Amino acid sequence: MLQAACEQAGLSAKGAELLRIGENAIWRLESEPFVVRIARDAERLPTVRKELCVARWLTAGGIPAVGVADVPRQPFVVDGHPVSFWVAVDGVGPVPTQDDVARLLKAFHSLGDCPCDLPEFDPFPVSRNRIASAHAIGEEDQKFLFGVCDEAEQILHDLEFALPRGAIHGDAHVANLLADRGRVVLLDFETSVRGPREWDLLPAAVGVDRFGRDESTYRSFTEAYGFDVREWAGYPKLRRVRELTMTTWLAQNAGNGEDLYAEAKRRVSSLREGEFKRAWNFF
């Protein structure tokens, strides 16, 4: 499959190195400084097109982002798998920080209208699919989480946001930044949508409130961005939506190990009891 995709792109797959397999199989070419991403199935094609579009838009706007390889006509579809080509990052530069997240988000949110075909923000279909597959946590917890989905969907519908809607990254945290050629770049635009900018600020805030991250680091984040989502009246409600999505992601994987199961049950329990100070563990 990699060979066929490279042939369509006019490139050589000889000596390519498999970096990892997850939602995508990711290869690094030896012949060019490119990374090849092979998506799981044909249903991912609109997402791949969106990722390429957002990356090009950010680059054109002067925002440091992972580069799209100069390969005409991509993405390709090979044996039902969308394939995209990206410029490989070199890992040279400063270690990404929360301040970098804030700085890049501020630039992202300030860029203006996005020309890409972005879907509207709606985390609930994915969450419901995750719950349906979360058999390991048991039917009672599944039923509870479905109810939280219904509640959270109404909460989101009724919220009045402080910031203007627009293009958002959708999953903004330090793990989605990399050092490249002496600077920090933003990557991973699979979850980019049109929605509330507050959503992009939640990971940093929840990191403090739920995972015990350093408060002073968070203060620096809010100063760099220019807005503290925790001081917005709607924060507790939107935080519940975010924590639901975090819980359902873990719940669908709860059968893959005792630690995953224990953490999924801990999170479900805290949501059920309305306990918003209980410490969660990172996964």
φ/ψ of 103, rounded to 5, equals: -65, -45
DSSP-based three-state secondary structure for 211:
coil
Consecutive H or E run containing 142: helix 139-158
Dihedral over alpha carbons 45, 46, 50, 56 (to 10 degrees): 50
Write out pLDDT tens, residues 161-187: 999 999 999 999 999 999 999 999 999
Tell me, what's the pLDDT at 94?
95
Question: Quick one: pLDDT at residue 277?
Answer: 79
Distance from C-alpha of 186 to C-alpha of 190, rounded to nearest angstrom: 12
| Span(s) in the chain for CATH 3.30.200.20 | 2-87
Please name which of 86, 97, 130, 62 lies closest in space to residue 204, comparing C-alpha atoms.
97
Q: What is the pLDDT of residue 278?
A: 75
Residues of the chain with CATH 3.90.1200.10: 98-273
Topology (CATH level 3) of domain 98-273: Aminoglycoside 3'-phosphotransferase; Chain: A, domain 2 (3.90.1200)
What does pLDDT average to over the chain? 95
Q: Would you say 203 and 177 are in contact if contact means Cβ atoms under 8 Å apart?
A: no
Backbone angles phi, psi at 61, to 5 degrees: -85, 5
Nearest to 183 by CA among 263, 66, 68, 33: 66
Of residues 273, 64, 77, 41, the one with CA closest to residue 186: 64
Please list the ranges in the chain whose pLDDT falls under 50: none
Q: What is the CATH number of domain 2-87?
A: 3.30.200.20
Q: How far apart are CA 97 and CA 102, in angstroms?
A: 9
pLDDT at 190: 94
User: What is each CA distance from 140 to 48, 123, 133, 265, 280, in whole angstroms?
Assistant: 36, 22, 14, 11, 21
